[in-house]
Amino acid sequence: MKVVGRIGKFLFPLFTSLLLMLVIWYVFLKAFPQVGPRVGKSPEDIWRYLVTSPGAGVARAALLDDLQITLRDAAIGFGCGLLAALVVAALFVSFAAVEQTFLPVAMLLRSVPLVVLAPIIVLVFGRGVAGVAVLAAIVVFFPALVMITAGLRNAPQQAMDLIAAYGGSRWTGLRMVAVPAALPSVFAAARISVPGALIGALLGEWLGSGTGLGASLIRAIPTFQYNQLWSSIVLVTIVSVLLYAIVGVLENLVLARFGADANSS
């Protein structure tokens, strides 16, 4: 029951945020009447476009097909970026020389806007799935690296000393003490990285592959397909919140089983 309560406390603010975003949507359309009904679409317009209009089935199918491509690209980038961040963070914690050498380089690359890097990435990795996934992975990698490194450094020093006293290597201490202690940081990085992976995938599809929701969003503007544009934005927002919620629920379940308060739950 304690786990259910924790999950409920996590999900309630997300549900409240969705309602607040709906209110902001209405307020925005009322506050800027110059936008006009042709450009500014209300929730009722989106519902009609995707559900009740005669062409709703075709519009919905096209939107879901693009979403499937974007989710595939984002999932590859998310997995690769988070795994790379975990490996590099473990190297940083284990070898100070590695951190001193490569952390400034990582921060320098992080300061370069992704739009500037995108053409180079497309040239190197191509305009297909690989190029889009690399862009998504870059968005995931840097914030996850910082958070996971901080989590690994917060491992109980007494437990690390005990591993060393019994002849365990630094990798044993990392595996048995540091990684379990860093689980909250890993899941926090994953929660933050899920929307980031979607943003990176959308950017990669816009600048690179020309497929998925990222490309359809750009195509909808010059062709005046504002129902499609707003529907895509709403869909991306809802999917981002749902993925964030799924990772958060998994976090609560895993930490209840393996976290610091596992014995008291």
Q: Are 239 and 67 in contact (CB under 8 A)?
A: yes
Q: Provide the pLDDT confidence category of residue 259 given band limits of 50, 70 and 90.
A: low
The answer, yes or no, to whether residue 138 has pLDDT greater than 70, is yes
The answer, yes or no, to whether residue 209 has pLDDT greater than 80, is no
The pLDDT tens digits for 153-202 are 888 888 877 777 877 777 888 878 888 888 889 999 999 899 889 988 99
Q: Report the percent of the chain where pLDDT is more than 90.
A: 28
Radius of gyration of the chain (CA): 22
Mean pLDDT of 238-245: 91
Greatest mean pLDDT among 72-81, 122-131, 245-254 lies in 72-81
Q: Are 101 and 77 in contact (CB under 8 A)?
A: no
Q: Which residue has the higher pLDDT, 75 or 126?
A: 75
For residue 158, the one-letter residue type is: Q
Burial 76-111 (b: 16+ CB within 10 A, else e): bbbebbbebbbebbbebbbeeeebeeeeeebeeeee
The answer, yes or no, to whether residue 100 has pLDDT greater than 80, is yes
pTM reported for the whole predicted model: 0.84
The answer, yes or no, to whether residue 6 has pLDDT greater than 60, is yes
Residue 199, both tokens: 């943003």
At residue 60, the pLDDT reads 92
Q: Report the percent of the chain where pLDDT is more than 70.
A: 96
Q: From CA 97, how far away is CA 99, in angstroms rounded? A: 5
Q: From CA 162, how far away is CA 173, in angstroms rounded? A: 9
Q: Provide the pLDDT confidence category of residue 263 given band limits of 50, 70 and 90.
A: very low
Burial class (CB in 10 A: 0-12, 13-18, 19+), 145: buried
For residue 114, the one-letter residue type is: L
At residue 66, the pLDDT reads 92
At residue 23, the pLDDT reads 92
